[in-house]
């Protein structure tokens, strides 16, 4: 299987789309004084550009479907092996900004740390995320260790004595351009939030690519 490279076409489409009204005239009407209208926040509450903000406009998003379309129109993939999947939303938290979090899937496999967030206000929309992701490739899923062998390799080389349980397998985006490895995900849970942690191992080598404690003491 060949690697998929997301080229500068994505960046070009981003620059083009940033100046366009993509959703604006949706035909929907809502009472902007209602707390149900995008939780009642104006885009003015985020007047300063955030560190991961990559687009803002006066287009208005009303729901998750429109948020997805806004994101898709902002970043057009050169092929269909990448998709956005809604993984979280502030629908049930009216005290927060109205936001929708989408994770990038490659060939129907989620990419860890590839989240993009669409924030919907009463008078505009912001997209936040790591644009560096679009300059990455995804590793071939070949010559993979078994889940057991990968964990054994890590434990032997690291001296870690914790008892990990296998959870899942994804791709892993480290935050910089390059090749994203295919990983196995393991969980250590001893019932103590200060000790519990999630472990990410390269599925080809057993090397640790990340570790995420539940909390920091």
pLDDT (tens digit per residue) in 119-167: 999 999 999 999 888 889 999 999 999 999 999 999 999 999 999 999 9
| Average pLDDT value for the chain | 83
Looking at residue 15, what is its pLDDT?
30
What is this structure's pTM?
Answer: 0.78
Q: Which one of 109, 137, 165 terminates a domain?
A: 137
Q: Which one of 100, 117, 137 terminates a domain?
A: 137
In this structure, are 12 and 106 located in the same domain? yes
Residue 166 covered by a domain: yes
In this structure, are 127 and 153 located in the same domain? no
pLDDT (tens digit per residue) in 24-72: 333 344 565 565 578 889 999 998 999 999 999 999 999 999 999 999 8
In this structure, are 160 and 192 located in the same domain? yes
Domain of 171 in residue numbering reads as 147-213
In this structure, are 26 and 103 located in the same domain? yes
Structural domain total, the chain: 2
Distances (CA, A) of 207 to 26, 106, 202: 49, 22, 5
Residue 95 covered by a domain: yes
Residue 1 covered by a domain: no
Minimal CA–CA distance to 121: which of 49, 64, 170, 62?
A: 62
What is the Cα–Cα distance from 135 to 9, expressed in whole angstroms?
Answer: 10
């Amino acid at each position: 299987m060949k690697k998929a490279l997301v080229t500068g076409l994505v960046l070009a489409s981003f620059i083009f789309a940033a100046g366009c009204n993509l959703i604006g005239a949706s035909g929907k009407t809502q009472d902007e004084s209602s707390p149900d209208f995008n939780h009642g926040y104006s885009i003015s509450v985020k007047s300063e550009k955030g560190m991961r903000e990559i687009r803002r406009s006066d287009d208005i998003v009303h729901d998750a479907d429109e948020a997805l379309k806004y994101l898709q129109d902002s970043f057009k993939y050169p092929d269909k092996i990448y998709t956005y999947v809604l993984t979280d939303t502030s629908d049930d938290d009216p005290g927060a900004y109205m936001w929708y979090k989408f994770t990038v899937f490659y060939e129907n496999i989620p990419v860890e740390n590839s989240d993009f967030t669409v924030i919907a206000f009463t008078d505009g929309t912001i997209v936040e995320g790591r644009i560096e992701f679009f300059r990455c490739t995804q590793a071939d899923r070949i010559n993979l260790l078994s889940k057991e062998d990968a964990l054994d390799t890590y434990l032997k080389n690291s001296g870690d004595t914790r008892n990990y349980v296998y959870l899942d397998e994804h791709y892993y985006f480290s935050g910089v351009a390059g090749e994203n490895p295919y990983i196995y995900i393991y969980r250590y849970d001893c019932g103590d939030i200060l000790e519990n942690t999630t472990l990410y191992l390269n599925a080809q080598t057993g090397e640790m690519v990340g570790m995420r404690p539940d909390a920091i003491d």
